[in-house]
Amino acid sequence: MKRILIAAVTITVAVTTPYGIAAAQRRFVPFAGGGLATGTGDLSQGTDNGWLAFAGVDVPLGLTPGLTVGLTGSYSHLPYRGAFSEAMNIPAVFGELGYVIAAKSSSIVKPYVRGGAGVQIRKYDPGSTGYRKQSDGGIAFSAGGGLQFLVSSTALFVGAHFVSDADAGVLGFHGGLAWPGRAAK
């Protein structure tokens, strides 16, 4: 998983750096956040609410204001019900397209949507049950949206994001920060 993340970040940086230097409108927009996570599909059976954390970087495409391409890494922890400390831990990496609606408007509050594809790995931690650790994973898809609040050169955001492969996934309700810099005049 670490090799995949390092390779994806390296490719993103290598591909987008020339564009970021060439046009003042294009720059890296790092973001990070966290929140509440709940299991979906097979993970909705026997799990409690857990937590998630994520970070990533978006690069404005310049084709239309508000359109971005980016890379997001996330980690979710869903504990199982009971006294055995079992949990499902889910690291994931996604390439995503994002769109801030009315990006050029002077409004402080702007809705956004994003979605993409990537890889998620479900790692079962047996806690004190005596079972062995297990993991599986594969191609997964993501979709989400929310509201962005621009405050000077920082953006606060709240939203929901759904990540799932064919069998199981995570629905997260989150908040976070992005650093888009000051809007170009």
Per-residue pLDDT tens over the stretch 13-44: 544 444 444 444 458 899 999 999 999 988 88
Q: How much is the pLDDT for 136?
A: 86
In a 3-state reduction of DSSP, which class is residue 157?
strand
Rounded CA-CA distance 112/144 in Å is 8
* pTM passes above 0.85: no
Rounded CA-CA distance 34/55 in Å is 9
Tell me if 70 sits within 8 A of 59, measured CB to CB: yes
Per-residue pLDDT tens over the stretch 52-89: 999 999 999 988 899 999 999 999 999 999 888 899 99
Return the CATH number of the domain spanning residue range 2-178.
2.40.160.20
Going by DSSP bridges, is the β-strand pair 29-41/50-60 parallel, antiparallel, or unpaired?
A: antiparallel
Q: Where are the domains of the chain?
A: 2-178
Report which of 15, 60, 45 is spatially closest to residue 181, judged by C-alpha positions. Answer: 60
Rounded CA-CA distance 42/31 in Å is 30
Burial of 128 (0-12, 13-18, 19+ CB in 10 A): exposed
In a 3-state reduction of DSSP, which class is residue 10?
helix
Phi/psi for 74 (5° steps) reads -135, 160
Q: Which amino acid is at 39?
A: G
For the segment 141-156, the average pLDDT, to the nearest whole number, is: 93
State the chain's mean pLDDT as an integer.
Answer: 85
Q: Given the structure tokens 């995949």, which residue do they identify?
A: 4
